[in-house]
Structure 1
Amino acid sequence: MTTVTAPATSTPVTGERADLIVALGKQRHFLRFTTRGLTDEQAGLRTTASALCLGGLVKHVTSVERVWVDFILQGPSGMPDFSSWTEEDLARRADEFRMLPGDTLAGALEAYAEVAARTDELVATLPDLDATQPLPQAPWFEAGAHWSARRVLMHVVGETAHHAGHADIIRESLDGQRSMG
């Protein structure tokens, strides 16, 4: 049986909750590992046909994890109202994917660590992983769907793994270093 201790609690976490924390931790590690030894400038470089950069991916995954944890706790009101997004909202969203003037890789990684600790604490202490919330209206969500906390957390694991793969390709294009394989 897997036993872990969530960062903000000294209570051992076992079973499914431990598995979720370990799965999240593994994927977060792969994403963070792709940034090892980089300067802020390197973290902001686009190295493929994509507009993605390593620092931007860390910023994006931080935002995604934060929003989904807010959804678990607050329901649709914890997420942006996608139905009324303005051009300004879209531009702010695009800024998640790049390093802006004043952004640092260290700052992005610190923010990611804070969000990760909050998520791990939630996984350890949430009364019911089966508790559901209705998804907000958005073209990419099934109308009327509800997601359990468990499903949201599995989605965050998948999103993190997906972007860690992107990061690995970007890093290999940057300087030949790889985090996976």
Structure 2
Amino acid sequence: MSPERPGRKLDTPQERWRPTFNLDSDIVGVYSERVARFLGTGRYLAIQTVVVIVWIGLNLFAIAIRWDPYPFILLNLAFSTQAAYAAPLILLAQNRQENRDRVSLEEDRARAEQTKSDTEFLARELAAVRLAVGDTVTRDYLRKELDDLIDELTERLRERTEETDPLDEPKTDDHDPTVD
């Protein structure tokens, strides 16, 4: 057995100093999305094509400055390195977009559910109002009833005036019986 050092407990792990490297994942994500977007453009493909043609042209025809002879191993290494970084950056950008889409979908579902419940509530309220209005008199109904009543009263008055027409003089005797 080894002797214990004073002040050190065996049940606690020993702390070691490690350098901390803190990166904000959102900042890394934003820049990776920018790089991934750029890698998917025609501009990037055109630039890459020009670089490859110049690279191959210089290494085939400029004999004095050949830094990467025919099998173009250095160019192949550059493409491999680019692919090794591009694939994770594209995956990171896709994951971030998927997370945004998921949050947006959840918000859309919640909004649709709220709209549906609001619509159902309004439909119930409208049905209640229709039932209540069915028992009350509307302005148009009252106006029609009053017009009908006026027509009926006018007709009755007309009938009465025809019965007692002032042009038809009542028959009266000019002869007074008391005078005889």
Return the structure number with greater relative CO, CA threshold 8 A, min gap 6: 1
The structure whose Rg is larger is 2
TM-score by length of 2: 0.29
TM-score by length of 1: 0.29
